[in-house]
């Protein structure tokens, strides 16, 4: 067990929180900001039937795209899946359920889940198939769709630095969805490139406060090749 001010655990201990049928929130955009070691731990444990909430399905051999490629995911809630042809093929074959959500609305739904809101109102999709099954509200004479908040049993996050309490710093664009995802998991597990002692991070550089983080694991680095490296 870790104390409240030391949340660092082993990758093996983190894997205990992954299970069949779990809902999983993952930070990242096209694989950038996906936590590589945690994804590999999910694969190694053989976890299946995952409901995955993420901006996208990355690429076939990159980030959370590996979970889709290995058919570990039963449902995806994402803004797009086009960068991973395996996701499209599985959707067409009826093997993968996909719920599309505009990127900004997806981000706000995750944020709403993280801060405890009952939902958000949006006029995006009014009069289209996007309104199917959604509650409509009229406020000040204008029609809105009620977009429900998104949370998950487990949220996985990749940070550049973490102190042992879980205060986080991100690497440039890897910040993307990670701060929102960190807030919206029942259990939030952070994979950090560097772990430092409490007090070593300058307060103004901290993006995610440690109060949102349950556990931290040491990263061994990205275990895939990016498209521009090939």
Least confident of 47-61, 96-110, 215-229: 215-229
Q: Check if the beta carbon of residue 39 is closer than 8 Å to that of residue 60.
A: no
- Residue 1, pLDDT > 70, answer no
The model's pLDDT over 27-52, given as tens digits with 9 standing for 90+, comes to 999 999 999 999 999 999 999 999 99
Work out the average pLDDT over 146-152: 98
For residue 11, what are the contacts with CB-CB under 8 A and spacing of at least 6? 37, 38, 41, 217, 218
In the block, residue with structure tokens 């939902």: 119
Q: 214, 219, 212: which is closest to 160 by C-alpha?
A: 219
The model's pLDDT over 62-89, given as tens digits with 9 standing for 90+, comes to 999 999 999 999 999 999 999 999 999 9
Residue 230: predicted pLDDT: 62
| Sheet containing 136-139, strands listed edge to edge, beginning at the edge strand earlier in sequence | 120-122, 142-147, 136-139
Q: 47, 52, 56: which is closest to 74 by C-alpha?
A: 52
Work out the average pLDDT over 149-168: 98
- Residue 20, pLDDT > 60, answer yes
Token digits for 104?
A: 């900004």
The model's pLDDT over 8-19, given as tens digits with 9 standing for 90+, comes to 999 999 999 999
pTM for the predicted model, two decimal places: 0.94
- Residue 3, pLDDT > 70, answer no
173-200 in b/e burial notation, b at 16+ Cβ within 10 A?
ebbbbbbbbbbbbebbbbbbbebeeeee
Please, which pLDDT band fits residue 130 given cuts at 50, 70 and 90? confident
Token digits for 76?
A: 């995806």
SS (H, E, C) the chain: CCECCECECCHHHHHCCCCCCCEEEECCECCECCCHHHHHHHHHHCCCCEEEECCCCCECCECCHHHHHCCCEEEEEECCCCCCHHHHHHHHCCCCEEEECCHHHHHHHHHHHHHCCCCEEECCCCCCHHHCCCCEEEECCEEEEEECCCCEEEEEEEEEEEECCCCEECCHHHHCCHHHHHHCEEEEEEEEEEEECCCCCCHHHCCECHHHCCEEEECCCCCCCCHHHC
- Mean pLDDT taken over the chain: 95
């Amino acid at each position: 067990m870790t104390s409240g001010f030391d949340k660092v655990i082993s990758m093996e201990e983190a894997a205990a929180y992954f299970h069949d049928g779990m809902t999983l929130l993952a930070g990242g955009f096209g694989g950038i900001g996906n936590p590589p070691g945690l994804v590999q731990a999910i694969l190694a444990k053989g976890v299946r039937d995952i409901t995955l909430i993420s901006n996208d399905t990355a690429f076939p051999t990159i980030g959370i795209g590996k979970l889709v490629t290995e058919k570990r995911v039963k449902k995806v809630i994402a803004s797009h899946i086009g960068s991973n042809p395996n996701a499209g093929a599985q959707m067409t074959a009826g093997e993968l359920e996909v719920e599309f959500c505009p990127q900004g609305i997806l981000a706000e739904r995750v944020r709403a889940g993280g801060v405890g809101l009952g939902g958000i109102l949006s006029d995006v999709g009014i009069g289209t198939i996007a309104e199917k099954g959604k509650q409509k509200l009229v406020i000040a004479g204008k029609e809105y769709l009620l977009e429900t908040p998104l949370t998950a049993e487990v949220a996985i996050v990749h940070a550049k630095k973490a102190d042992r309490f879980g205060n986080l710093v991100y690497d440039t664009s890897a910040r993307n969805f990670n701060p929102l995802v960190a807030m919206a998991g029942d259990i939030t597990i952070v994979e950090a490139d560097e772990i430092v002692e409490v007090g070593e991070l300058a307060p103004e550089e901290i993006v995610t406060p440690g109060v949102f983080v349950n556990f931290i694991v040491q990263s061994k680095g990205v275990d895939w090749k990016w498209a521009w490296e090939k």
